Structure 1
Amino acid sequence: MPYAKTADDTALYYEIHGRGTPLVLLSGQANTHHWWDSVRAQFEARFTTVVMDYRGTGNSDRPETDTYTTARFAGDVAAVLDDAGIDRAHIYGTSMGGRVAQWLAAEHPQRVHRLVLGCTSPGGPHGIERGPDVRQALNQPDADAAHRALLELMYTPGWLATHHGPFHTLGDASMPAHARRHHLRASARHNAWDALPRITAPTLIVHGTDDTLNPTANAPLLAERIPNARMHLIPGARHAYFEEFADVATPLVLGFLTEAS
């Protein structure tokens, strides 16, 4: 199994599949590379696809030191690319992965060919936060009820009526408590507003119109802040648009990534 080592000696697990131009798929907060399992094959048919486990998740090291920020995660992605011998790649990040992708594109522009930011936010004072009702639903003491609330934020009732799991978008159950706290803090403290105008890669913003976990209003903020970005909203989609609405989202992203530069 391939591992990359970071400057602070953290081992990061990653996998490479497919063939063609490299494409890095970045998952959401406190999730492993399995986040992409349901749609990865379609990307592997066209690209050399790289997936990874963030520090604190999956097969990667889980340092107890406070080394978890979205900017640090972007550096970790660069370390994986270095280890894999990849100079430049397309980057597709969703949720917290989109936050990480923002830093990667702004701080390492030479590494990013085309950029897709899905169901994500610029963070900081300019980002649109989820409402108090959403926070209350996720933090209720009844664990089963909180789990159900998260499912309903990710997927529509119609999808949940016919799909019963396993779901790979609800967090890595093997994470230790310290790593889970660090991931939550890293995502909450993300603020790339001042860095976004430095992104030079062609950028596509994708979001579901019914996403309240990461409110849809963040999409136009990103599209207006990143030079020459374009935006596509998927009607009726919630946070896991890339899975439930894969028949729309995957061709959309593939088309963007394969456009002539």
Structure 2
Amino acid sequence: MTTFAIADDGVRIAFEEHGSGVPVLLIAGQATGMHGWGPFADALARDFRVIAFDHRGIGASEEGDAGLYSTRSFAADAVAVLDAAGVAAAHVVGHSMGGRVAQWLAADDPGRVRRLVLIATTASDRAGGSGARRDPAAIADLLSGDRARMRPLFFDDGWADAHPDVVDGFFGRVASRPALRGHFAASRDHDARDALAGIRAETLVIHGSRDALTPVPHARMLADGIPHARFLELDARHGLHLDTPAVLDAVRDFLLPEGQRRD
């Protein structure tokens, strides 16, 4: 059942819950709805109380002023969702832009984050000292709206062909053009590099070695900037939380109490 949180500016943010146990907040990527988590969320719900939401301007959430979108304001929306769900603190898992949002949540509201998982994300689009820049051709494919061009950025062909319903759920969205532009600008302008040192939550950074949207050196710099963060690199693309089973295993083992983890 869809429930609504009320953000600071009165915008209604849609969210859903599944499962029971320690809460896990899932924060989706740029212009991606909560149902895009698909089987990843379903699997986590076997062990946790999973909470997922539509960013403002996406799906069932209201749009608000798209000209004011930022990853930091999206983090405030995430806090509103936790409040509406009656959750004082949750594990937080963010994918892509959702990982950028999660960085602000962990830095600005450390008491709300138990453990933090950052998947296929970066502290800033700026190359900084990494020496790696995002591929303009990959960004053009992402912004094209053409699923045939976007799909190879996220998923291996064999997996995508075998799971068309999951691919549809990931790429399917309801959003206006201003909202899409606002999401892109929020993600593009994100820069939390100076805030990383203040993140207190135990953190796991997971990244695909074949991620054309976010080069691996960005993820390594992200992990290096967060105190005692763990870094896991896998042979995968940008949508690795869906097409790479090792991601689910790693997230589950990281979030579960030690006595319940896999050997």
Q: Determine the structure 2 residue equivalent to 1:133.
A: 137
Could you tell me the TM-score, scaled by structure 2's length? 0.91
Report which stretch shifted further, 127-136 or 180-189. Answer: 127-136
Q: Residue 204 of structure 1: SS of its match in structure 2? A: strand
User: Letter of the aligned partner of 2:240 in structure 1?
Assistant: Y
| TM-superposition CA deviations, 1:19-38 (whole Å, max 9, x none) | 10010011110011011112
> How far off its partner does 1:124 sit?
4.8
Q: Residue 42 of structure 1: SS of its match in structure 2? A: helix
Asked if the contact 1:106–1:195 (Cα under 8 Å) also holds between the matched residues in 2, the reply is yes
Report which stretch shifted further, 150-159 or 97-106. Answer: 150-159
Runs of 5+ consecutive residues of structure 1 not aligned to the other structure: none
Q: 1:248 to 1:167 in 2, by over 3 A?
A: same
Give distance in 2, aligned partners of 1:138 and 1:55: 20
User: Letter of the aligned partner of 1:243 in structure 2?
Assistant: L
> How far off its partner does 1:193 sit?
0.3
Q: Residue 171 of structure 2: SS of its match in structure 1? A: coil
Q: Residue 39 of structure 2: SS of its match in structure 1? A: coil
Identity in percent: 37
Aligned length: 254
Q: Determine the structure 1 residue equivalent to 2:240.
A: 241
Give distance in 1, aligned partners of 2:92 and 2:79: 11
User: Letter of the aligned partner of 1:24 in structure 2?
Assistant: L
Give distance in 1, aligned partners of 2:225 and 2:233: 17
Q: Residue 168 of structure 2: SS of its match in structure 1? A: coil
Report the aligned-residue RMSD.
1.8
User: Letter of the aligned partner of 2:213 in structure 1?
Assistant: L
- Is residue 195 of structure 2 the alignment partner of residue 195 of structure 1? yes
Q: As a proportion of its length, which structure holds more helix?
A: 2
Asked if the contact 2:197–2:227 (Cα under 8 Å) also holds between the matched residues in 1, the reply is yes
Runs of 5+ consecutive residues of structure 2 not aligned to the other structure: none
Asked if the contact 2:66–2:182 (Cα under 8 Å) also holds between the matched residues in 1, the reply is no
Q: 1:139 to 1:50 in 2, by over 3 A?
A: closer
Report which stretch shifted further, 190-199 or 209-218. Answer: 209-218
Q: Residue 43 of structure 2: SS of its match in structure 1? A: helix
Give the alignment of 1:58-137 within 5 angstroms. Answer: 58-125=59-126, 126=128, 128-137=132-141
| TM-superposition CA deviations, 1:208-244 (whole Å, max 9, x none) | 1111112222211111000000000112x10110110
Give distance in 2, aligned partners of 1:41 and 1:210: 26
Asked if the contact 2:213–2:238 (Cα under 8 Å) also holds between the matched residues in 1, the reply is yes
Asked if the contact 1:13–1:60 (Cα under 8 Å) also holds between the matched residues in 2, the reply is yes
> How far off its partner does 1:139 sit?
5.2
Give distance in 2, aligned partners of 1:177 and 1:191: 24
